[in-house]
A and B are shown apart, each in its own frame.
Chain A
Amino acid sequence: MATIANGAESAAAARLSPRATAWLLGCAGMLVALAVWTVLSRLFAHGGGVINRLPTPLAVARKLVAYAGNDLASDLLASLHVFAVGWLVGAASAALIGLVLGRSDWLGRIFLPIVEAIRPVSSIAWVPLAIVWFGFGLTSKVFLVGLAVFLVVIVYAVDGSRRVPADLERTATMLGMNDRQRFASLVLPGTLTEVLIGSRVALMSGWGTVIVAELVAADSGLGAHLIAVEQSYDVPAVMATMICFAATGFAMNAAFTWAERRMLPWRHDREREAT
Chain B
Amino acid sequence: MKIRVETPHPDPLPASGERERASVPAEREAHRGELVVEHVFHGYAAAGREIDVLHDVSFRVEPGHVACVVGPSGCGKSTLLGLAAGLLRPSRGMLRFDGAQVALGRNPHLGMAFQQPGLFPWMSVRENVAIGLRTRGQSRRDARRVADEFLDTVGLADFRDAYPSQLSGGMAQRVGIARALALRPRLLLLDEPFAAVDAFTRLKLQQEFKALLRLNRPTVLFVTHDVPEAIALGDVIVVMTQRPASVQRIIPVAREDRDRASPAYARKLADTLACLGVTSDIQD
By a beta-carbon cutoff of 8 Å, the part of chain A in contact with chain B is: 1-2, 4-6, 8-9, 12, 17
Contacts and interface: CB of A to CB of B under 8 A. Distances in A.
Nearest to B27: A1
Interface of B: 20, 22-23, 45, 48, 89-94, 96, 101
B92 A8 contact: yes
B20 A9 contact: no
Contacts of B101: 1, 5
21 contacts: A1-B20, A1-B22, A1-B23, A1-B94, A1-B101, A2-B20, A4-B92, A4-B93, A4-B94, A5-B89, A5-B92, A5-B93, A5-B94, A5-B101, A6-B92, A8-B89, A8-B90, A8-B91, A9-B92, A12-B45, A17-B48
A87 B45 CA distance: 45
Given A5-B89, A8-B89, A8-B90, 15 more contacts: A1-B20, A1-B23, A1-B96, A1-B101, A2-B20, A4-B92, A5-B90, A5-B93, A5-B94, A6-B92, A8-B91, A8-B92, A9-B92, A12-B91, A17-B48
A9 B91 CA distance: 6
Nearest to A4: B94
A104 to B, nearest CB: 38
Most buried by B among A2, A4, A9: A4
Closest 6 CB pairs of A and B: A4-B94, A8-B91, A8-B89, A5-B89, A2-B20, A5-B90
A17 B22 CA distance: 36
Contacts of A9: 91-92
B274 to A, nearest CB: 34
Nearest to B99: A1
Nearest to B96: A1
A106 B20 CA distance: 74
B22 to A, nearest CB: 7
Contacts of A6: 92
A231 B23 CA distance: 77
A5 B38 CA distance: 11
Contacts of A1: 20, 22-23, 94, 96, 101
Contacts of B45: 12
Nearest to B42: A8
A2 B53 CA distance: 25
Nearest to A3: B20
Nearest to B50: A12
A47 to B, nearest CB: 44
A47 B94 CA distance: 63
Contacts of A8: 89-92
A174 B101 CA distance: 65
Contacts of A5: 89-90, 92-94, 101
Nearest to A7: B89
Nearest to B22: A1
B80 to A, nearest CB: 15
Contacts of B89: 5, 8
B98 to A, nearest CB: 13
Contacts of A12: 45, 91
A2 B96 CA distance: 12
B21 to A, nearest CB: 9
Contacts of B94: 1, 4-5
A13 to B, nearest CB: 11
A1 B95 CA distance: 12
Contacts of A17: 48
Contacts of B20: 1-2
Contacts of B91: 8-9, 12
A2 B101 CA distance: 10
Contacts of B48: 17
Nearest to B7: A18
A1 B99 CA distance: 9
Nearest to B93: A4
Contacts of B23: 1
A5 B101 CA distance: 10
A1 B92 CA distance: 15
A179 B101 CA distance: 71
A233 B10 CA distance: 50
B100 to A, nearest CB: 9
A6 B96 CA distance: 15
B161 to A, nearest CB: 35
A81 B20 CA distance: 69
B256 to A, nearest CB: 38
Contacts of B96: 1
Contacts of A2: 20
A17 B90 CA distance: 20
A3 to B, nearest CB: 8
A171 to B, nearest CB: 34
A98 B196 CA distance: 45
Nearest to B39: A4
A7 to B, nearest CB: 9
B49 to A, nearest CB: 12
A12 B22 CA distance: 27
A16 to B, nearest CB: 12
